[in-house]
């Protein structure tokens, strides 16, 4: 008979089988693993933890081993780590000056029966610091790129307006193209800058009373021409009875414009893009749904990562930054953004934003 907390598979590719109750040998193996490892059985009891995990979480073995997770002192790093919801993507958690990646997996016996949950931990403080330095460099560099481009664009507009004398129609046509390329370059720089700024916490929200119904109407109007050109129906159903919220309307408009333009981009002609707004509890909800190409289930949790594009997006223009920026803006408002999708049938992005601003969520300046 197998012991109830025997781990049969660990870390996917590796197949290791050992008994956590077998005392010293089990402890030696656990301590030899280059990551923090914690095992919690089906009864919610922490039955095994290695030395690395104890040191990362500043816990003492005798205080945690054999304890039920819900009996551990609240607010301690170990309680916070073990009470997180399981996710197939590592979560970054900050404990004082250290940042720790946390990944939990269900553990099954050889017979396929769930026997508990294995949590892996590793220190990403240095990685984070390097990423931050890189992002600070990108912010500086993109900011410097913007200044000469603004000057170039200014002169082109001046020439087109005839401020420096008459220009022929051929030159006018060429300048129009230069101006178009210049503004796409400008938008790309702005996107990169904004995504880094939001990540670095440098962007402060400018909250003002904002009417979500009006904001959505404007976003729909801005996208209507492209939708019609693509042979799509763009429909807005406004059911929000309390549409006023304290929000940064410019930033929220970017979120919804991005969701609507994505919906248009990824929907073949004859399709529909439907925007619905409604109130639920103390929040306003907006869904942007389409009848487009959809997103494979394995990509759903990754499309909000910077630069991540689903394989199905090959051939469609884009930078892979829009959703990452949208998520950062929604979360800075204390809201959440989620997605549901069926490949080949369509996608639905849902944004929920609290009506009242909570300082807790404000992005620091
Ligand atoms: P971009 O659209 O510039 O590629 P985003 O960050 O806005 O970047 O979106 C990331 C990815 O998410 C897209 O490349 C695409 O794979 C997927 N995606 C986003 N919205 C949709 C949608 N409405 N339908 C299908 N796929 C989508």
Closest residue to atom 3 of ligand 1, CA basis: 318
Whether the CB of 296 sits within 6 Å of ligand 1: no
Q: Which pLDDT value is given to residue 25? A: 63
Q: Which pLDDT value is given to residue 7? A: 33
Whether the CB of 321 sits within 6 Å of ligand 1: yes
Whether the CB of 320 sits within 6 Å of ligand 1: yes
Q: Which residues pair with 286 in a beta bridge?
A: 277, 351
Closest residue to atom 20 of ligand 1, CA basis: 262
Three-state SS sequence of 216-240: HHHHHHHHHHHHHHCCCEEEEEEEC
Whether the CB of 263 sits within 6 Å of ligand 1: yes
Whether the CB of 257 sits within 6 Å of ligand 1: no
Task: Using the atom order of ligand 1, give the atom closest to the CA of residue 316.
Answer: 4
Contact 69/40 with Cβ under 8 angstroms? yes
The b-or-e profile of 306-340 (16+ CB within 10 A means b, else e) is: beebbebbeeeeeeebbbbbbbbbbebbbbebebe
Please give the structure tokens belonging to residue 125. 């403080």
- Classify 353 in phi/psi space as left (phi over 0), alpha (psi -120 to 50) or beta: beta
Orientation angle between helical segments 125-160 and 169-200, nearest 10 degrees? 160
Q: Which pLDDT value is given to residue 17? A: 44
How close is the Cα of 91 to the center of ligand 1, in Å? 22
How close is the Cα of 351 to the center of ligand 1, in Å? 15
Whether the CB of 290 sits within 6 Å of ligand 1: yes
Whether pTM > 0.85 for this model: the answer is: no
Task: Using the atom order of ligand 1, give the atom closest to the CA of residue 313.
Answer: 16
Q: How far apart are CA 204 and CA 190, in angstroms?
A: 16
Q: How far apart are CA 357 and CA 337, in angstroms?
A: 17
How close is the Cα of 100 to the center of ligand 1, in Å? 29
Q: Which pLDDT value is given to residue 26? A: 67
Q: Which pLDDT value is given to residue 4? A: 30
How close is the Cα of 308 to the center of ligand 1, in Å? 8
Residue to substitute in 192, 234, 262 for testing ligand 1 pocket (most ligand atoms within 8 angstroms of CB): 262
Closest residue to atom 22 of ligand 1, CA basis: 263
Q: Which pLDDT value is given to residue 77? A: 92
Residue to substitute in 263, 274, 313 for testing ligand 1 pocket (most ligand atoms within 8 angstroms of CB): 313
**Three-class SS of residue 312?**
helix
Q: Which pLDDT value is given to residue 235? A: 97
Distance of CA 224 to the CA centre of its chain: 27
Q: Which pLDDT value is given to residue 24? A: 63
Q: How far apart are CA 346 and CA 269, in angstroms?
A: 13
DSSP 21-47: TSTHHHHHHHHHSSSEEEEEETTSBEE
Please give the structure tokens belonging to residue 108. 């099954």
Q: Which residues pair with 346 in a beta bridge?
A: 342
Q: Which pLDDT value is given to residue 96? A: 80
Contact 284/243 with Cβ under 8 angstroms? yes
How close is the Cα of 264 to the center of ligand 1, in Å? 11
Q: Which pLDDT value is given to residue 238? A: 96
- Report long-range pairs for 91-95 (Cβ below 8 Å, ≥24 apart): 92/124, 92/128, 95/56, 95/57, 95/58
Q: Which pLDDT value is given to residue 18? A: 47
Whether the CB of 347 sits within 6 Å of ligand 1: yes
Q: Which pLDDT value is given to residue 187? A: 86
Whether the CB of 292 sits within 6 Å of ligand 1: yes
The one-digit pLDDT tens for each residue of the chain (365 residues) are: 333 333 333 343 333 444 555 556 667 777 777 899 999 999 999 999 999 999 999 999 999 999 999 999 888 899 989 987 776 678 888 888 888 999 998 999 999 999 999 999 999 999 888 888 888 888 888 888 888 999 999 999 999 999 999 999 999 999 999 999 999 899 888 888 877 777 766 667 888 999 999 999 999 999 999 999 999 999 999 999 988 999 999 889 999 999 999 999 999 999 999 999 999 988 999 999 999 999 999 899 889 987 888 888 888 888 788 898 898 889 888 899 999 999 999 999 999 999 887 544 443 32
Task: Using the atom order of ligand 1, give the atom closest to the CA of residue 294.
Answer: 25
């Amino acid at each position: 008979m197998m012991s109830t907390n025997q781990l049969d598979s660990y870390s996917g590719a590796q197949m290791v089988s050992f008994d956590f109750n077998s005392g010293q040998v089990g402890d030696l193996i656990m301590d030899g693993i280059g990551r923090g490892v914690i095992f919690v059985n089906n009864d919610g009891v922490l039955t095994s933890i290695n030395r690395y995990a104890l040191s990362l979480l500043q816990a003492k073995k005798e205080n945690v081993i054999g304890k039920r997770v819900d009996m551990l002192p609240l607010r301690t790093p170990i309680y916070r780590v073990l009470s997180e919801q399981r996710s197939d993507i590592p979560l970054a958690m900050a404990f004082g000056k250290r940042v720790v990646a946390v990944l939990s997996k269900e553990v099954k016996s050889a017979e396929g029966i769930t026997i508990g949950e294995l949590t892996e931990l590793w220190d990403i403080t240095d990685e984070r610091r390097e990423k931050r330095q890189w992002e600070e460099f990108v912010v500086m560099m993109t900011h410097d790129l913007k200044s000469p481009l603004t000057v170039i664009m200014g002169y082109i507009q001046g020439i087109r307006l005839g401020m420096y004398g008459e220009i022929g129609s051929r030159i006018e046509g060429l300048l129009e193209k230069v101006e178009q390329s210049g503004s796409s370059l400008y938008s790309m720089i702005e996107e990169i800058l904004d995504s880094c700024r939001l990540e670095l916490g440098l962007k402060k929200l400018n909250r003002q009373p904002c009417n979500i119904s009006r904001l959505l109407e404007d976003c729909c109007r801005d996208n209507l021409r492209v939708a019609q050109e693509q042979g799509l129906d763009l429909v807005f159903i406004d059911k929000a009875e309390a549409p006023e919220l304290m929000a940064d309307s410019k930033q929220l408009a970017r979120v919804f414009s991005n969701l609507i333009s994505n919906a248009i981009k990824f929907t073949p002609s004859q399709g529909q893009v439907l925007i619905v707004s409604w109130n639920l509890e103390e929040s306003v909800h907006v869904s942007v749904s389409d009848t487009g190409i959809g997103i494979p289930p394995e990509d759903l949790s990754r499309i909000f990562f910077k630069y991540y594009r689903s394989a199905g997006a090959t051939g469609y223009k884009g930078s892979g930054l829009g959703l990452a920026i949208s998520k950062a803006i929604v979360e800075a408002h204390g809201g959440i953004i989620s997605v549901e999708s069926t490949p080949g049938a369509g996608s639905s992005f849902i944004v929920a934003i609290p009506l009242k601003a909570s300082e807790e969520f404000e992005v620091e300046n």
